Amino acid sequence: MDTLTIATRGSALALWQAEHVKARLIAQAPGLRVELAIIKTTGDMILDVPLSQVGGKALFVKEIEQALLDRRADLAVHSMKDVPAELAPGLELAATSAGEVPWDALCTRDGTTLDGLPRGARVGTSSLRRQCQLLARRPDLQIAMLRGNVPTRLAKLDAGDYDAVVLAAAGLTRLGFADRISQTLPPEVCLPAVAQGVLGLETRAGDAEVIALTRAAMHDAAEERRVIAERTFLEKMGGSCQTPLAAHAHRDGDALVLDALCGTPDGARVLRTRVSGPPDDAARLGVEAATALLAQGAGEIVAACSARRP
């Protein structure tokens, strides 16, 4: 293999991630030529409506996966939180990267924290998961749609369109905007998206040479356990961006602890559970967490959210 093509979105964050992977691949295989193929996805093209109203489970992934299937690319670099629980047939995850900080971050112009925002403050986010948890904490807030890449969202904050915006701390950190974080939201306030902060490296199934190189350059086995637990939970819940779902797994000594959440978009009802067990049982923990939430009535929430989909 002399040349490897990486498929990626064209946002500043996606390009940072692709370049990061490119550098790691070249370090692993000196002399390898790595090229980037920039792919515009459905999520990139539809910017005037909330993601929850667009529908579908692969808004930032489908066109990139098609590039792999068409052999226009050999490897795809995704933010793992954008990757559906079920991959397109013929594709597989070659590697799971080490994670950046998984939490959400509140950004304001003057450093104000969530509890310090004035009553009725306008908070920008494109995520029903974030909306649910913010309103559960502060039902007086006005949640307003916010789309666009990281610099665009910060520019809208600075222009006064919002009193605060909520973004992934990982993206802010990777792009050099960590100083814009007014408050890192703790998990008891805003549990993160499944696999937030982790990169997913996707290839064609059975492409042994690319898979071996990618795993050698990027794979983090401990992070993979966390991701398996969280993504299994997501798969068993059967949810999408229309349903506020969140999960985060972390190591506590010899145990893997999984926190999971399902709520209504208005934050009026938020269900939580915590399960733990050996890291090698990560998939079982995901099933256990989903089962616990479904027993609390999460199925009704998922069904109601799906029924509201256009």
Residues with catalytic roles:
82
Question: ∠305-137-129 over CA atoms, to 5°?
Answer: 35
C-alpha span between 13 and 201 (Å, rounded): 15
Residue 37 φ then ψ, to 5°: -115, 110
C-alpha span between 169 and 37 (Å, rounded): 26
The sheet with strand 142-145 has its strands ordered as 142-145, 122-125, 164-168, 104-108, 183-185
Tally of CA atoms within 13 A in the half-sphere of 287 that contains its CB = 4
